[in-house]
Amino acid sequence: MRGIRRAVNIPVTVKIRSGWDEDSRNAVEIARMVEAEGASMLAVHGRTRVQMYRGVADWDLVAMIRDAIDIPVVGSGDVMLPGQAIDRLAAGLCDGVMIGRAAMENPWIFAQIRAVHDGRPVPVPDADECIDALRIFRDGLRETRDDRGFIGRFRGLACRFVKGMRGGAAARRAIGAASDVTAVEAIFADFVREASRPESARESSRAVA
């Protein structure tokens, strides 16, 4: 931390978990050290390293750390819906919310949080926006994966996208069996176009509250 601070002229932020395992939940201690070494902001995912994604994220710990230090604390873990972000902020558990997996399923979650916060109607993407967003994921993935790793990961992203939508299970099976990018995109496009037709949209769109 000290070395990084010396090496750069930009704010340095840090992200930690609650500890390595149940016997070493030392996040409060680490948070104090990080602050003392001049970090500008701290993000906390309230699970241990050993836990990976098992169990639930400990937001009481996030709040405890926020009380223990003076730099802004961003909470992370299990925020899947806009209302959950608003609730955590309103309860004073954190200064900001970090969203990982839900943003992969629903990249509009940030605009939706803003809308809920401002008391505006929650924007729900139409089929074309969903298709465009999957293309953005595709192009980003191409920059980071070689050909062999690409298609499996792309299928995974497309599956995440349809998660939580009515009929999504069948679409996920079809995407899982698709052999190339064009096939994945065609299945995905058919699915979101069908899901966003007025007669099915009300039932099929994911929960946003």
Nearer to ligand FMN, 97 or 174 (CB): 97
Closest CB 55 distance from ligand FMN, rounded Å: 12
Q: Is 79 in the site for ligand FMN (CB under 6 A)?
A: yes
Tell me how far apart the alpha carbons of residues 34 and 30 are, in angstroms, rounded to a whole number. 6
Nearer to ligand FMN, 63 or 174 (CB): 63
Q: Is 58 in the site for ligand FMN (CB under 6 A)?
A: no
Q: Is 100 in the site for ligand FMN (CB under 6 A)?
A: yes
What x/- string results for residues 32 through 51 when contact with ligand FMN is judged by CB under 6 A? -------------x------
Q: Is 138 in the site for ligand FMN (CB under 6 A)?
A: no
Neighbour count for residue 34 (Cβ, 10 Å):
22
Return the range that interacts with ligand FMN (CB under 6 A); candidates 5-13, 99-107, 139-147, 163-171. 99-107
Q: Is 85 in the site for ligand FMN (CB under 6 A)?
A: no
Return the range that interacts with ligand FMN (CB under 6 A); candidates 92-100, 124-132, 150-158, 187-195. 92-100
Residues 7-26 that bind ligand FMN (CB under 6 A): 15
Q: Which of 78, 24, 20, 84 is nearest to 53 (CA)?
A: 78
Query: Binding residue for ligand FMN (CB under 6 A) from 61, 78, 106, 116?
Result: 78
Tell me how far apart the alpha carbons of residues 71 and 38 are, in angstroms, rounded to a whole number. 9
Determine the residue with CB nearest ligand FMN.
100
Q: Is 196 in the site for ligand FMN (CB under 6 A)?
A: no
Q: Order the strands of the 13-19 sheet from edge to edge.
A: 13-19, 41-48, 73-76, 96-98
Task: State the number of binding residues for ligand FMN (CB under 6 A).
Answer: 11
Q: Is 134 in the site for ligand FMN (CB under 6 A)?
A: no
Give the tokens for residue 25. 């939940």
- Between vectors from CA 162 to CA 157 and to CA 163, what angle results, nearest 5°? 95
In our burial notation (b when 16+ CB lie closer than 10 A, e otherwise), range 141-170 reads: beeeeeeeeebeebbebbbbbbeebbebee
DSSP for 106-163?
Answer: -TTHHHHHHHHHHTPPPP---HHHHHHHHHHHHHHHHHH--HHHHHHHHHHHHHHHHT
Query: For binding to ligand FMN (CB under 6 A), which residues are involved?
Result: 15, 45, 76-79, 98-102
